[in-house]
Structure 1
Amino acid sequence: MPYDKKSELPDSVSDNLPSHAQEIFKEAYNSAWDEYKDPKDRDGNDSREEVAFKVAWSAVKQKYHKNDNGNWVKK
C-alpha cells in the first residue's frame, strides 16, 4: 500500500535513512506501486509490494550510500 507520510514508512526505512532519503523512498515506492499494479508488468513472481520496495531502495541508492560506520549519507 502506498505511504501518505514519512511517519508511515516501515522501521527499516525510518530508523536508518535520513529525512531526505526517506522522502525519496516514499515517492519512488508510491510511483512503483502504481506502475506495477498489473502482475504482467512485473518480472518473475514478485508481489506488487516486493517490486515497489526494490524500486524505492534503488532510488535511494542513486543519491545515498552507506559509509564505513554503516550510516546512510548523501553521495
Structure 2
Amino acid sequence: MPYKANKHLPKRVKDNLPRGAQTIFRKAYNNAEKQYKDPKKRRGKASLTAVCNKVAWSAVKNEYKKKGGDWVKK
C-alpha cells in the first residue's frame, strides 16, 4: 500500500526519522512498491513489504546518518 503522506508512515518511522528523512523513506518505499510488485523482480522469496522497507531505509541512509541516537543529515 503506497503512503500518500508522511503522517501515514509506520509509527517506528515517524518516531525515529526527521521530517525530511520521512519524505525520502516514503518516496523510496512507494517507488520500490511499483518496481518490485512482480515477485519475479525480487531476490529470493522476499515479500514486497520487506523489499520496500529495505529500499526505503537504504535511501534514508544515503542522506542521513545516526548520531547519538538521532538521525542527522550527512
Q: What is the TM-score of this pair, normalised by structure 2?
A: 0.98
The alignment yields a C-alpha RMSD, in angstroms, of 0.5
* 1:54 to 2:54 alignment: yes
CA distance in 1, matches of 2:57, 2:12: 11
Q: Counterpart of 2:21?
A: 21
Number of residue-to-residue matches in the alignment: 74
Offset at 1:24?
Answer: 0.2
Runs of 4+ in structure 1 off by over 4 angstroms are none
Q: SS of the counterpart of 1:72?
A: strand
Task: Report the alpha carbon displacement of residue 60 of structure 1 after superposing the two structures with TM.
Answer: 0.2
Superposition TM-score, scaled by structure 1 size: 0.97
How big is each residue's C-alpha offset from its partner over 1:18-38, in whole Å with a ceiling of 9 and x where there is no partner? 000000000000000000000
Q: Which runs of no fewer than 5 residues in structure 1 stay unpaired? A: none
CA distance in 2, matches of 1:21, 1:5: 13
Gaps of 5+ in 2: none
